[in-house]
Amino acid sequence: MKVMSVVGARPQFVKLAAVAAAFGNMEHDHTIVHTGQHYDADLSDVFFTGLSIPEPHVHLGVGSGTHGVQTGTILAALDPVIAAAHPEWVLVYGDTNSTLAGALSAAKQHIPVAHLEAGLRSFNRRMPEEHNRVLTDHAADLLLAPTEEAVHHLAAEGLADRAVLTGDVMVDVCLRIRDKVLRDKATAVLPAFLNPQEPYLFATLHRAENTDHPDRLAALVDALASLPVPVALAAHPRLLARAEDFGIKLDHGSLHISRPLPYAELIRTVLGSRGVITDSGGLQKEAFLLERVCTTLRTETEWPETLRGGWNTLVPDPRELGSRAWPDIVLRPAPKSSRGMPYGDGKAAPRVVRALEDHMSGSQAR
């Protein structure tokens, strides 16, 4: 079986790590195309080296742009690559512009498309990720759903017959790296400004709806800086760029800024923390899997399972909480309730490969 993975942004590299490892033990021909959506070493190269992902076979080097330009540039650059390789599957991941462009290029060339992390919905049509995931699901032939909730969403849109519940491949990677980090405990180093004996929070902030409006960004930064414990914020380039554009100072009060963290560093920093504050989808789940409370700076989440029992909580706007409630929420104790295993057992990637094998002949018939 000839499978081409199309990836381009940081969370896709984490998912690819699990899939590439599953293909590594098999006869199949798995090639990797990197669109170049993320080009900074901190967002790309460190994931390939840190997670032992094979080098991409093709790098399109498309870089940044508006959504239309970025999606269109990837689409144009991918057409000849997919035509030359003529894979039996094009596998796209998650909800980025690279996902949608990969699905469209393949679908228009009658190459079967499989969508990993299918069926997630925020029901917020103002998010670029929501357009990307809905359109990709409807273009794809095989929908690899991480959760039962995702399967229900697909069924509600008439896509049940293309859906397969595989579990979430991010669990495979997160638990593997967690175990490695715990084994290497003796050599672990936290950033210099964090005292491992003192409680701290770990934060990230990068979504357009939080970073691209000056008032909102300033309010979120102030809310983080006012907390009574150190907040380690690993800053995405989008956050740094917008803060500079708007003249917002990031590194002040309790807030300490670092570069984006490589994956093992991220897991180590979350494990050492009292809790996480984020607008990232992946980090909400990583906090849940690592048993740290998470506060999500958004109005909704694609991962509602994390909300059960209070492991994750949505805070759309810290200003609405009043100054006393905000620290109490982010520093709340971990719930006693069991979290269950809504994201699967850490063996999703082999199930993804099996689903591709099982559905090969069916998809070729179209």
Nearer to ligand UD1, 35 or 363 (CB): 35
Q: How far is the CB of 1 from ligand UD1 (least distance, A)?
A: 28
CB atoms inside a 10 Å sphere around CB 140: 25
What span, in angstroms and rounded, lies between the C-alpha atoms of 313 and 296? 6
Where in the chain does DSSP place strands (E)?
2-7, 29-34, 58-59, 89-93, 113-116, 142-145, 163-165, 201-203, 231-234, 255-258, 275-278, 293-296, 312-314
Applying CB under 6 A, among 15, 30, 38, 121 the residue interacting with ligand UD1 is 38
- Our answer to whether residue 213 is catalytic in this structure is no
Cβ nearer to ligand UD1, comparing 7 with 355:
7
Distances (CA, A) of 205 to 15, 294, 345: 20, 13, 28
Name which of 207 and 292 has its Cβ closer to ligand UD1. 207
Residue 163 dihedral angles phi and psi, to the nearest 5°: -95, 140
Interface segment toward ligand UD1; rule CB under 6 A; list 27-35, 89-97, 185-193, 226-234 = 89-97
Give the DSSP letter of residue 110. T
**Residue 203 is a binding residue for ligand UD1 (CB under 6 A):** no
Q: Out of 160, 241, 325, 341, which residue is the one contacting ligand UD1 (CB under 6 A)?
A: 241
| Binds ligand UD1 by CB under 6 A, chosen from 45, 59, 64, 258 | 64
CA 313-316-317 angle, 5° bins: 120
- Choose, by CB under 6 A, the member of 37, 105, 269, 295 that binds ligand UD1: 37
Residue 237 is a binding residue for ligand UD1 (CB under 6 A): yes
Q: Which of 310, 342, 292, 364 is nearest to 120 (CA)?
A: 342
Apex CA 95: angle with CA 24 and CA 293, to 5°? 90
95 near ligand UD1, judged by CB under 6 A: yes
The reply on whether position 213 binds ligand UD1 by CB under 6 A is: no
Which of the stretches 236-244, 298-306, 320-328, 338-346 binds ligand UD1 when contact is defined by CB under 6 A? Answer: 236-244
Measured from the CB atom, is 87 or 281 closer to ligand UD1? 281
Question: Which residue of the set 206, 236, 256, 359 is catalytic?
Answer: 206
| CB nearer to ligand UD1: pick between 9 and 145 | 9
- Return the bridge partners of 31, or none: 4
Among 87, 128, 167, 346, binds ligand UD1 (CB under 6 A): 128
Q: Is 239 in the site for ligand UD1 (CB under 6 A)?
A: no
Exposed / middle / buried, residue 131 (Cβ in 10 Å: 0-12, 13-18, 19+): middle
Q: Which residues are catalytic?
A: 206
The residues binding ligand UD1 (CB under 6 A) are 9-11, 37-40, 43, 64, 70, 95-97, 128-129, 206, 236-238, 241
